[in-house]
Structure 1
Amino acid sequence: MAELNGAPVGPDELKALALINYGHFTSMRMENHRIRGFSHHIERLVRDCQVLFRSELDRDQVRAYVRQATADEEGSFVVRVTVFDPDLELGRPGAPAGPKILVTTRPAGTWPMAPLRVQTAQYMRDLPEVKHVGLFGALWHRRSAQLDGFDDCVFVDAEAYLSEGATWNIGFYDGEQVIWPNAEVLPGVTMRLLQQVHDASALGPVNIADLPRMEAAFATNTAIGVRAITAINEVEFPGEHPVLKTLRKEYEEIPAEAV
């Protein structure tokens, strides 16, 4: 399913997204036509539209397009809202923008997902605070990690401090509290919701040298929920830990919002 501003979309309208690749998006797991943190996702779209296009996105219009595009969907699935300008020209990206709203869906995986083994990569996304469509660097490092026998990658800076995964946030448990890296990262909606409901959590620096003292590590985003990480480079973590069960329970108990 794919609709642009509420109508079926054709290849010509998607040409700018494919060839110029300038825009932003959010992905949301929908269950029975409800989404956890839906209002946070809407706010992300509004904020990022101002950053990328200096344009005001209509919240109610986004809701209406999502509601229409998913009306016939059943069960659990992932809906993605992508905002881009079909008329954007490569040579004149500073021209007045007319961003439109693309809504697509794909199947959702079953929770909890299999644990991840990840490899570190020195990298920081462009505009890390924005969930933009420029995924080349992230996918390059994910591919490199997979070719090295890992499932995914996690980014570190020049001093070996961890920030985020290719398309997810990362958290750790040190035996007392959940620690989220205080680096420049995308403020993921799932991470934000967990920070709100899990009292024993804090922001702090996490270096590669700190990993052996951590009792557990996990990845979060709307599609995967809370997913265990069992290895970062050569440092191993358990695939199951009481804190992971607690976080999953707390997250799944968060009331989902009607679209």
Structure 2
Amino acid sequence: MTGSAPGGGLPRYEIDGRAATAEGMGVLATVNYGHFTAMQVRGGRVRGLAAHLARLDAASIELFGAGLDADLVRARIRHALGDVADASVRVIVFAPDLGRPRELSVLVAVRPPAGMATTPQALRSVPYQRPLAHIKHLGGFGQLHFGRLARAEGYDEALLTGPGGVVSEGAVTNVAFVRPGGAGVVWPDAPCLHGITMQLLEPLLPGAGIPSARGPVRLADIPSYAAAFVVNSQGIAPVSRIDDVTLPVDEALMTTLTGLYASVPWDSI
């Protein structure tokens, strides 16, 4: 097994700056313990690079007791990209030997660029919350399982919920709900991953006249909201339906949100 496709195409997989081998990938295939970040690269640049690097460092400290050098991660990404300017990049951090957890390896997966569907999304609520939800960790069986079931029922994604129908996040997104009467948006405060796109977009909202807050959201509350939207590294999309509740799409708000996100500068890797 080699890490690069023939002719230098995509996908490419490198571990610690070298083409991935079956031996090198073995621990991920059998243990699947680690964490990652996912980003869209355009022209060799990415939005929110500092936030991605901070996420990797913090999770490495929490899971392995050792930080991760930002310059090293950038070098690994640049090497894996090579002459590829536009790509979907995933950076995975793991310990090849869990008996020595502070000795970390960095896997960089380079795949073709992707974008979120901007068409309205239908979400199916499921009774599941991710363990250690604040970490973007490996082993997302629940997300994949419930996401597959949601799509089989004609939905686009699963909406993860906890006891009492408290809303946490989408299977691969953050979700926000729009209060009626121009009262702004609320992001669920249940356990969830604060995604990079959420981190970049949330502080820009008040400056655009959109109050933003975090608070409890329950499935029973959803009919009272004026609209909803989801965000992740691939972009922003409106939500048109959650279970059997139809939500209107606020086109003006979506235009504002996409404009705000487009204003975020791209950082050279």
TM tier relative to shorter chain = over 0.9
Match of 1:205 among 205, 216, 238: 216
Instruction: Verify: 1:59 aligned to 2:70, yes or no.
Output: yes
Which structure 2 residues correspond to residues 1-259 of structure 1 after superposition, within 5 A? 1-74=12-85, 76-88=86-98, 95-110=100-115, 113-175=118-180, 176-199=183-206, 200-223=211-234, 225-259=235-269
1:131-155 CA distance string (max 9 Å, x none):
0011001111111212222121111
Please tell me the residue identity of whatever aligns with 2:151.
Q
Q: Distance in 2 between matches of 1:139 and 1:5?
A: 28
- 1:257–1:162: structure 2 CA closer, same or farther, 3 Å change rule? same
1:188-222 CA distance string (max 9 Å, x none):
11001111111121111111121112121111111
Would you say how many aligned residue pairs link Structure 1 and Structure 2?
252
Q: Distance in 2 between matches of 1:79 and 1:171?
A: 25
- Which ranges of 4 or more aligned residues in structure 1 deviate by more than 3 Å? 94-97
Q: Distance in 1 between matches of 2:108 and 2:101?
A: 23
Q: Distance in 1 between matches of 2:213 and 2:229?
A: 15
Q: Distance in 2 between matches of 1:110 and 1:166?
A: 16
Structure 1: where are the runs of 5+ without partners? 89-93
RMSD of Structure 2 on Structure 1 (CA) = 1.5
- 1:140–1:110: structure 2 CA closer, same or farther, 3 Å change rule? closer
Q: CA deviation at 1:95?
A: 4.3
Length-normalised TM-score, structure 2:
0.89
- 1:16–1:45: structure 2 CA closer, same or farther, 3 Å change rule? same
1:17-37 CA distance string (max 9 Å, x none):
011110100001111111110
Q: CA deviation at 1:109?
A: 2.7
Q: Distance in 1 between matches of 2:30 and 2:77?
A: 25
Provide the identity percentage. Answer: 37
